A and B are shown apart, each in its own frame.
Chain A
Amino acid sequence: MSTAVIPVEAKPRTTYLNAGQTLKSWLLTLDHKRIGILYLISVTFFFLVGGIYATLIRLELLTPQGDLVSAQTYNKLFTQHGITMVFFFLIPSIPAVFGNFLLPIMIGAKDVAFPRLNLLSWYVFMTGALFASYAMFAGGVDTGWTFYPPYSTNYANTYVIATGLGIFIAGFSSILTGLNFIVTIHTMRAPGMTWFRLPLFVWAQYATSLIQILGTPVLAITLLLVALERTVGIGIFDPRLGGDPVLFQHLFWFYSHPAVYIMVLPSMGVVSEIIATFSRKPIFGYKFVAFSSLAIAIVGFLVWGHHLFTSSQSVYAGMLFSLLSYAVAIPSAIKVFNWTATLYRGSISYDAPMLYALGFIGLFLIGGLTGLFLAALGLDVHVHDTYFVVAHFHYIMVGGALLAYLGAMHYWWPKMTGRLYPEGWARFAALVVFVGFNLTFFPQFILGYLGMPRRYYTYAPEFQLLHVLSTAGASILAVGFILPAIYLLWSLKKGPIAPADPWLATGLEWRTSSPPPPENFERTPIVTWNAYEFRPQEEAEVIGGGKPDASSLTGE
């Protein structure tokens, strides 16, 4: 933007990327940006693994007979798909990658509050992943990602304990990240960066961190109990020993329902950033959007019983959980309405990140509203454990969380790498993802409503057309993932050099250079403006690094 003003330097600027070139400088780094990149590589790898499982599942379902894999193998495929995608991709994806990279920069800090703990969290994550991968190669697990007893405790003869241990360990990395972010937001904000000047992404990360800290220990203990039940039969879940298998479902969903918000709250934060930037307007009702994140985090803990409507849970508890589940729709709706109000009369441009953000709003809306179908006590009896549920949560997790992840990847790619990607290809890929996604998962709503149960590898012939559509959609979706992989990697070497603020956005991350220097800012920024305070372009340039005074902030 302001390249004409800045004199060309002979020596290349020191950035976090060229500050150390050795493998050791990456593996022992304490820089939150590099740790974000380490996570980026790791979770992208697990997304690929989970995607291979999904491909095999969709191929098997192309025909009504079981022709590609055996029933037992199919059970392992959907289990591994769920575990890999949930625990090793979706949960760490946005917080550990973009949260790590951006959160300190967005609040004007040099790093997170506990850099060593941050590095430890990555190693803990990789250790957990190692256990889960061992279990996968040794033969996998076939309980479903939910590990319901009595099957998981008494009958399954697959690698339940090794996989559970992997998730148990990886959970601690999630707790460490959450803890780090909360302390960072409380103690490391730059002068003038008051709570209500924080970007909404930071608010969303704060709410997510609360869930990570308060929920994850319960999952860890629950998996430990399954392991103890399997090995020494302590009788927590086995009725013959005085236990109760439904207790497992209570404990498991106490974490795993809020875990949905670990995936989708950061995504909502990303969408808020993108919508503001590409409408060139402050987010409508900033405080409502900020507090709705906290409301979702808290109310999200009160609704888990909607997974137990058909599991012999008391009808009265069912009524209570049904009502509370409806309540959680309110803060979600506040966000959707406020984004729409932000778009209204905005100066909208349809760059690739914006396409993903708009896709998120539409798909999250469908995913959220079908959630209300499932929260209705009577209707849930009909669609429980059918493809309706599968379609619903894929609309939230793929249509919501994954689209936001891709949107974030495009939006902050110039900042992270210092390169621009080819915009035309990126817009095309975003459309391919949107079309492929809907073709994959919309037919599954119909399948489920017609009675196709989930987790079956054969089905009645009349379901075939819808399954073929779904598999065809999955192929298109795969193309939509491969395209960005190609052009983003291409842009690393060949892409045009990115300016500090390619989108004319407002956050502090756009007021430092691309890629940022190791210490983020050369001197601590002093914040005198609100979040999303757009200025005339000339004025924005001055702050972006035009005048010598301001440029010392950016490290140029």
Chain B
Amino acid sequence: MSEHIVPKKTYYAVFGALMALTAITVFVARFDLPWILNIVVALTIAVTKATLVVLYFMHVRYSSRLTQVVVVAGIFWLVIMLVLTASDYVTRGLLAPVVSISAQ
């Protein structure tokens, strides 16, 4: 809420962290990592940065419990969308023989 005054130092620290993570993203992009690690690394960094922005720049860390519940609910709904959609995509291959018959 507005009554909480965040010291400038915190903002500079968060800004520094965001910049550092950006630099890591650029650096890692130069290597082709094995397996699905390319995506894992990129998404981990992105999620960390988004969390920092939400917590500090958007003041959610200092907000009321209700506001925090709202933020978490929004993210949770995104997770619902991704997980249930993925329940289709990751299990499609499991019925490979049937799929190949019906495709002909």
| Residues of chain A having any CB pair with chain B under 8 Å | 186, 214, 218, 246-247, 250-251, 254, 301-302, 304-305, 308, 313-317, 320-321
User: Is B65 an interface residue when CB atoms closer than 8 A count as contact?
Assistant: no
7 closest A-B pairs by CB? A316-B91, A317-B88, A314-B91, A314-B92, A317-B87, A250-B85, A214-B77
Task: Output the least CB separation between A268 and chain B (Å).
Answer: 22
Partner of A302, one of B73, B84, B91, B94: B84
- CB contact list, B54-93 vs A, under 8 A: 66, 73-74, 77, 80-81, 84-85, 87-89, 91-92
Which of chain A's residues have a CB closer than 8 A to the CB of B94?
Answer: 314, 316
B91 and A317 contacting across the interface, CB-CB below 8 Å: yes
B66 and A314 contacting across the interface, CB-CB below 8 Å: no
User: Is B95 an interface residue when CB atoms closer than 8 A count as contact?
Assistant: yes
Q: A30 to B73: give the CA distance in the assembly, Å.
A: 30
Task: Output the least CB separation between A328 and chain B (Å).
Answer: 14
Task: Output the least CB separation between B65 and chain A (Å).
Answer: 12
Q: A302 to B92: give the CA distance in the assembly, Å.
A: 19
Task: Output the least CB separation between A13 and chain B (Å).
Answer: 39
Q: Which residue of A lies closest to B83 (CB)?
A: A302
Judged by DSSP, the binding face of A is helix
Judged by DSSP, the binding face of B is helix
A301 and B77 contacting across the interface, CB-CB below 8 Å: yes
Which of chain A's residues have a CB closer than 8 A to the CB of B87?
Answer: 305, 314, 316-317, 320
Which of chain A's residues have a CB closer than 8 A to the CB of B66?
Answer: 186
Q: Which residue of A lies closest to B98 (CB)?
A: A315
Q: A313 to B99: give the CA distance in the assembly, Å.
A: 11
B77 and A250 contacting across the interface, CB-CB below 8 Å: no
B92 and A305 contacting across the interface, CB-CB below 8 Å: no
Q: A308 to B88: give the CA distance in the assembly, Å.
A: 10
B81 and A246 contacting across the interface, CB-CB below 8 Å: no
Q: A539 to B88: give the CA distance in the assembly, Å.
A: 60
Task: Output the least CB separation between B78 and chain A (Å).
Answer: 9
Task: Output the least CB separation between B86 and chain A (Å).
Answer: 9
Which of chain B's residues have a CB closer than 8 A to the CB of A302?
Answer: 80, 84
Q: Most chain-B Cβ atoms within 10 A of its Cβ — which of A246, A317, A320?
A: A317
Which of chain B's residues have a CB closer than 8 A to the CB of A321?
Answer: 84
Q: Which residue of B lies closest to A311 (CB)?
A: B88
Which of chain B's residues have a CB closer than 8 A to the CB of A308?
Answer: 88
Q: A254-B85, A305-B84, A314-B94 are in contact. List 16 more A-B contacts (CB 8 A).
A: A218-B81, A247-B85, A250-B85, A250-B88, A251-B81, A254-B81, A301-B77, A302-B84, A314-B91, A314-B92, A315-B95, A316-B94, A316-B95, A317-B84, A317-B88, A320-B84
In the complex where A214-B73, A315-B95, A316-B94 touch, is A305 in contact with B88 (Cβ < 8 A)?
yes
13 CB contacts below 8 A, A to B, read A214-B77, A218-B81, A246-B88, A250-B85, A250-B88, A251-B81, A251-B85, A302-B84, A305-B87, A314-B94, A317-B87, A317-B91, A320-B84
Q: Which residue of B lies closest to A317 (CB)?
A: B88
Q: A33 to B88: give the CA distance in the assembly, Å.
A: 46
Q: A247 to B89: give the CA distance in the assembly, Å.
A: 9
Q: Which residue of A lies closest to B86 (CB)?
A: A317
Q: A353 to B103: give the CA distance in the assembly, Å.
A: 54
Q: A129 to B80: give the CA distance in the assembly, Å.
A: 31
Q: A251 to B88: give the CA distance in the assembly, Å.
A: 13
Partner of B88, one of A186, A214, A218, A313: A313
Q: A317 to B84: give the CA distance in the assembly, Å.
A: 8
Task: Output the least CB separation between B91 and chain A (Å).
Answer: 4
Q: A317 to B85: give the CA distance in the assembly, Å.
A: 8
Task: Output the least CB separation between B54 and chain A (Å).
Answer: 16
Q: Which residue of A lies closest to B94 (CB)?
A: A316
Q: Most chain-A Cβ atoms within 10 A of its Cβ — which of B80, B88, B95?
A: B88
A301 and B80 contacting across the interface, CB-CB below 8 Å: yes
B89 and A214 contacting across the interface, CB-CB below 8 Å: no
Which of chain A's residues have a CB closer than 8 A to the CB of B74?
Answer: 214
Task: Output the least CB separation between B29 and chain A (Å).
Answer: 20
Q: Which residue of A lies closest to B89 (CB)?
A: A314
Q: A477 to B80: give the CA distance in the assembly, Å.
A: 40
Q: A304 to B77: give the CA distance in the assembly, Å.
A: 14
Q: Which residue of A lies closest to B102 (CB)?
A: A312
Task: Output the least CB separation between A501 and chain B (Å).
Answer: 35
Task: Output the least CB separation between A101 and chain B (Å).
Answer: 26
Which of chain A's residues have a CB closer than 8 A to the CB of B80?
Answer: 301-302
Q: A246 to B85: give the CA distance in the assembly, Å.
A: 10
Which of chain A's residues have a CB closer than 8 A to the CB of B85?
Answer: 247, 250-251, 254
Q: Most chain-A Cβ atoms within 10 A of its Cβ — which of B66, B74, B87?
A: B87
Q: A246 to B92: give the CA distance in the assembly, Å.
A: 12
Which of chain A's residues have a CB closer than 8 A to the CB of B91?
Answer: 314-317
Which of chain B's residues have a CB closer than 8 A to the CB of A304?
Answer: 84
Task: Output the least CB separation between A471 and chain B (Å).
Answer: 38
- CB contact list, B2-45 vs A, under 8 A: none
Which of chain A's residues have a CB closer than 8 A to the CB of B89?
Answer: 314
Which of chain B's residues have a CB closer than 8 A to the CB of A317?
Answer: 84, 87-88, 91
Which of chain A's residues have a CB closer than 8 A to the CB of B95?
Answer: 314-316
Q: Which residue of A lies closest to B81 (CB)?
A: A254
Q: A250 to B89: give the CA distance in the assembly, Å.
A: 11
Q: Which residue of A lies closest to B103 (CB)?
A: A312
Task: Output the least CB separation between A306 and chain B (Å).
Answer: 12
Which of chain A's residues have a CB closer than 8 A to the CB of B84?
Answer: 302, 304-305, 317, 320-321
Task: Output the least CB separation between B8 and chain A (Å).
Answer: 31
Q: A198 to B45: give the CA distance in the assembly, Å.
A: 45
Task: Output the least CB separation between A275 and chain B (Å).
Answer: 31
Which of chain B's residues have a CB closer than 8 A to the CB of A316?
Answer: 87, 91, 94-95
Q: Most chain-B Cβ atoms within 10 A of its Cβ — which of A186, A218, A314?
A: A314
Task: Output the least CB separation between A179 and chain B (Å).
Answer: 10
Q: A305 to B77: give the CA distance in the assembly, Å.
A: 16
Task: Output the least CB separation between A430 and chain B (Å).
Answer: 39
Q: Most chain-A Cβ atoms within 10 A of its Cβ — which of B66, B74, B92?
A: B92
